[in-house]
């Protein structure tokens, strides 16, 4: 298992975020994901585990809908 990160990971996000045209996404060394839409004061934060659960849930629902099981 790799050692824990000592710095935050910063990403630029393209596309629509809450009505804004892109923004930034930060995953901090404690496992919190924070999204800051461009031009807004508000930031949105969730634990990384919760974000991973949301991704898996959405992918499974999309696959089930595609296969006609939803």
List, for residues 27-69, the tens digit of each pLDDT value. Answer: 999 999 999 999 999 999 999 999 999 999 999 999 999 888 7
Q: Are 40 and 22 in contact (CB under 8 A)?
A: no
Residue 18 CA to residue 59 CA, distance in Å, equals 21
Q: Are 43 and 23 in contact (CB under 8 A)?
A: no
pLDDT value, residue 5: 77
pLDDT value, residue 4: 78
**DSSP labels for 6-69?**
SS-EEEEEEEEETTEEEEEEEE-TTSEEEEEETT-S--EEEEHHHHHHHHHHHHHHHHHHHTT-
pTM here? 0.80
């Amino acid at each position: 298992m790799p050692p824990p990160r000592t710095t935050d990971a910063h990403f630029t996000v393209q596309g629509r975020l809450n009505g804004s045209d892109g923004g930034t996404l930060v995953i901090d060394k404690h496992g919190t994901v924070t999204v800051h839409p461009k031009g807004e004061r508000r930031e949105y934060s969730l634990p990384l585990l919760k974000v991973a659960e949301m991704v898996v849930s959405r992918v499974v629902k999309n696959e089930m809908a595609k296969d006609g099981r939803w």
